[in-house]
Amino acid sequence: MVVAQSLRPHMVVLLDGQVWRVLDVKAHAGGAQTRGVVHARLLNVRTRNESERRFRPEDRVEEGEVEFRTLQYSYRDGNDHVFLDPRTYDPVPVPADFLGDRVPFLTDGLPVLFECLGGDLVGCRFPESVELRVASTAPASRQAEANVWKEAFLENGVMIKVPPFIESGETVRVRVADRTYLERVHR
């Protein structure tokens, strides 16, 4: 059990028999005659519905015991994406909506850290960056225009902005969170 004022984003808590992930927390101090309050925005890990809850700072909340498992991406099967446990090679199907907007960045063998609670997946943490090949972009330019970036379409269909010296067929490192170019990968 943890007190409500120590709730932090990404924590997993159990409320009303349901498993919730803390998305956001705001604590408001009380005044002379009012008590403080903790506002938490929560995500139900099974239904994917969001909820707002208010707690007194001293309220106790049961924290879920999360186990971490690294699984490797293997293939897509309908609406599911199948990951393999590298120790047992057991397939683990994961619905596309569970992975969210990170689905285009799944590549063969990509290791993804999953959070499990009682055998159920409650969250996942993608690598911060992935390496992808540039499928198409405008011809490379070596001019001294440092602030000019151009559009490039990656092998996964995502469009990003790249420096003018990047050519089609090159491999680039992309930050998954905001889909931005980080660097050219030399091989």
The pair of structure tokens assigned to 41 is: 């925005």
**pLDDT over 90 at 172, yes or no:** yes
pLDDT at 144: 58
User: Residue for token digits 């225009």?
Assistant: 145
pLDDT in tens, 79-97: 899 999 888 889 999 988 8
The pair of structure tokens assigned to 185 is: 């990968």
Summary mean pLDDT of the chain = 86
Burial class (CB in 10 A: 0-12, 13-18, 19+), 58: exposed
Q: In CATH, what number does 2-63 get?
A: 2.30.30.30
* Ramachandran category for residue 118: left, alpha or beta (phi over 0 → left; psi -120 to 50 → alpha): left
Q: Is the fold of 67-125 the same as that of 129-185?
A: yes
Distance CA 122, CA 44 (A): 9
Domain ranges of the chain: 2-63, 67-125, 129-185
Nearby residues of 158 by Cβ (< 8 Å), 6 or more positions away: 104, 105, 132, 174, 179
Pick the CATH number of 129-185 from 3.40.50.300, 2.40.50.140, 3.40.50.620, 2.60.120.330: 2.40.50.140
Residue 98 CA to its chain's centroid (Å)? 10
Share of the chain above pLDDT 70, in %: 94
**pLDDT over 90 at 159, yes or no:** yes
Distance CA 181, CA 187 (A): 17
Nearby residues of 53 by Cβ (< 8 Å), 6 or more positions away: 15, 39, 40, 42
CATH class of 67-125: mainly beta
pLDDT at 154: 93
pLDDT in tens, 98-153: 888 888 989 889 999 998 887 778 888 889 999 999 999 888 776 656 678 889 99
In this prediction, residues 160-176 reach a mean pLDDT of 91
